[in-house]
Structure 1
Amino acid sequence: MTRVIACGEIDMSTAGQLHEGVLGVLRRQRPSRIEVDLAGVTFLDAAGIGALVMSRAAAARVGCRLTVVNPRPMGYRLLQVVGLLEAFGLATLPPPS
């Protein structure tokens, strides 16, 4: 398992960096699982969600499972609203407080 740690704001200007980071891990390490740690993410918008979705799809194409861990309440709620909790392995967890 490989952990990608994201921090700061993930928006239109930074979402590409997250996606490229995951692609780099997939190319270099070929892990069977990637956890994207969102504990340090202070803002997440639609572009950030898009980067996570594209990263998850890229991982799936090479047989890797991508999950999200430690989202702040705002990130958790956003993933909940767009219906992606289960896709990112969060559906069985209680919401963060």
Structure 2
Amino acid sequence: MESAIQRRLDDDGTATVTVRGEIDYANCDDLARCMQEAVTEWSPAVLRVELRGATFIDSTGLGALIEGYKAANDAEAQFLVINPTRAFRRVLDVTGLSDFFGLAESSVSDTEATQATGA
């Protein structure tokens, strides 16, 4: 399955990176770059990674999320993983990353989540 990675700057200054599909070796560098660019270009107070539409993650995808966390942390921005599916939450729990990252549920609509600037 293909994936789509998009980013947007919300009205409140929060940067949101939205992932749909798989996060694996084929696109982990794209995800890491998208998060880094969001932090560098927009200097947000919060970097959110929206996983509602994500279907799979492997170890390289987890590594990309860690890179995003580091980029946000270096810029003194909060890093949040939002709306992880049950399967994603389990992977984050088993690896201990759910304690490392901030996890949250969001009331952002699917329409808002898809209105993004391409990475």
TM-score (norm 2): 0.73
**2:28 — aligned with what?**
15
Q: Does 1:26 align with 2:39?
A: yes
Alignment equivalent of 1:77, drawn from 90, 115, 118: 90
User: Which structure 1 segments of 5+ residues have no match?
Assistant: none
How far apart are residue 67 of structure 1 and its match?
Answer: 0.9
Q: Kindly indicate which of the two structures has a greater share of residues assigned to strand.
A: 2
Q: Percent identity?
A: 33
Alignment equivalent of 2:78, drawn from 55, 60, 65: 65
Query: 1:57, 1:27 → 2: CA distance?
Result: 12
| Runs of 4+ residues deviating >4 angstroms | none
User: Which structure 2 segments of 5+ residues have no match?
Assistant: 1-13, 106-119
Alignment equivalent of 2:51, drawn from 38, 62, 67: 38
TM-score (norm 1): 0.89
SS at match of 1:85: helix
